[in-house]
Amino acid sequence: MSGTEVLRLEGIVKEFPGVKALDNVTFDLRAGEVHVLLGENGAGKSTLMKVLVGVYHPEAGNIVLKGKKVRMENPRQAQNQGIAIIYQEFNLVPYLTVAQNIYLGREPKTQFGLVDQRRLKSEARRVLDFLKIDIDENAPVYTLGVAQQQLVEVAKALSLEADILVMDEPTATLSEHEIGRLFATIKTLKTHGVSIIYISHRLQEIKIIGDRVTVLRDGRTVGTQLVAETELETLIQMMVGREIVKKRMRKTNTALSGEALKVSRLNRGKVLRDINLTVRQGEIVGLAGLVGSGRTELARAVYGIDRIDSGEIEIMGKRIRHPSPQQCIRQEMGFLPENRKEDGLALILPLKDNIIQASLRKLFPSGILSLSRERDIAKRYVRDLAMAAPDVARMAKFLSGGTQQKVVLAKWLCTESKMLIFDEPTRGIDVGAKEEIHSLMNGLAAKGVGILMISSELPEILTLSDRIYVMREGAIVHELDASATTQEEIIGFAAGKRAAA
């Protein structure tokens, strides 16, 4: 049956107040293929998938599944029809075990109607072993790292034994080793006839895993191509409607002034060990390392989110004895967290409120809020950062992932911070928005802002950084000149060995 069409979305239209998210979109899927769905944030990719699984109901269009028109009323119906989806944002219950999450709502029962715990665990272990995932099925999900939680999501979807599997940014939080393992699993699924819709912003993944690729732009279908016959530059132009200028290696700023951030002998339990680093004004410092090396933990400790055991932190020359987010804001340091939804945004507040929330004292020292000024400030950042938002009163939870990231960035730009920590600034961001954020970061450094950037994408680290610190097991193991190193050398230090020369 390989190559036979198993799914077709015809003329799908989906509207929200003030926005036509999908405009006559057409997409098809064949048995045993990986069909990549590309597009900038806000292009309609996730919305189209939510129409497919019944989260949203379209205003027009048809879903044809295995030759028959169907209407998906809800996600449970989609599951019953053999369609499973792994969302970009996790959908796990933290205090349940891995096994309980994998079979949540579908627990095997005993003859007395009780949950069969032994069978539940053994079935979960079978799925995990099939995926070669070394995670204890009895472990509560809250004890797992982000990458491990992503793998639990994959296991949960595969436990449905679906014919069609949708993966929305499945590798966003995975290390290179874990990505390779996931790709091996995908290839195994293909040989069993499973059809996969794969959404990703990592263009290099397309050539490795994809068979065909469809590009959406502004809620419309731009075209479908065979991956083997298409250059990545062509796909980029289809996505953004323009040619992307290749990034150039950042030129080291030779006119650096004082230290924007200095961390000395910082320790926190077994998580951080004797950390020493500096970021000068006008400098971008990259922080590299494998998943679990302590990069995010370091950022949280410096910003006062997690309590430190010992060490000194100086921001713009002033020593902070007991750092807290409030103190850091007062000393003009901002933090763009890895998890923007949980730590960076107030999802139920409008875009405009999110932008000014860290600058209220500076913008309105009298304590009286001017709604007109608030709107004007928000509109300026929406324009300057090219946010895909219908108006500044739009709730943050209704914005695309890329636009949400821009809102978090706008919040700290509004504070006019002199020191910024970026934790995975372009994770889940499309190629066009990534270029814009890179340009903005370079512009901030040119104005004298110090930037500490955590990124799992080594090309990003090498492109933007002046210097690079490499972390392993909670310690900084090496400092590198970004203009005189390679990805292989960074990986070698991060993995505990020098890369071969």
Give residue 283's identity as a one-letter amino acid code. Answer: E
What is the pLDDT averaged over residues 157-174?
Answer: 82
Asked whether residue 254 carries a pLDDT value surpassing 60, the answer given is: no
94 to each of 7, 149, 381, how far by Cα in Å? 34, 10, 35
Q: How confident is the model at residue 256 (pLDDT cuts 50, 70, 90)?
A: low
Task: Using only the alpha carbons of the chain, give its radius of gyration.
Answer: 24
Q: Which residues contact 20 (CB under 8 A, 6 or more apart)?
A: 13, 14, 219
Q: How confident is the model at residue 95 (pLDDT cuts 50, 70, 90)?
A: very high
Taking only the tens place, the pLDDT of each residue in 179-227 is 787 888 888 888 888 899 999 877 778 889 999 999 998 889 999 999 9
What is the pLDDT averaged over residues 167-182?
Answer: 76
Q: How far is it, in rounded angstroms, from Cα 201 to Cα 239?
A: 11
Taking only the tens place, the pLDDT of each residue in 451-481 is 999 987 788 888 899 999 999 889 999 999 9
pLDDT for 18 equals 67
Cα dihedral 9, 213, 37, 15 sign? negative
CATH C-level class of 258-332+418-431+446-494: alpha beta
pLDDT for 250 equals 56
Asked whether residue 242 carries a pLDDT value surpassing 60, the answer given is: no
Q: 420 is written with which tokens? A: 């910024």
Q: Where are the domains of the chain?
A: 5-240, 258-332+418-431+446-494, 344-416
Taking only the tens place, the pLDDT of each residue in 415-435 is 888 999 999 888 766 667 777
Q: Which CATH number fits domain 5-240: 3.40.50.300, 3.40.50.1000, 1.10.3720.10, 3.30.1300.10?
A: 3.40.50.300
pLDDT for 105 equals 85
Taking only the tens place, the pLDDT of each residue in 35-91 is 999 887 668 888 999 999 999 999 999 999 999 999 899 988 998 898 988 877 778
Domain 258-332+418-431+446-494 in the same topology as domain 5-240? yes
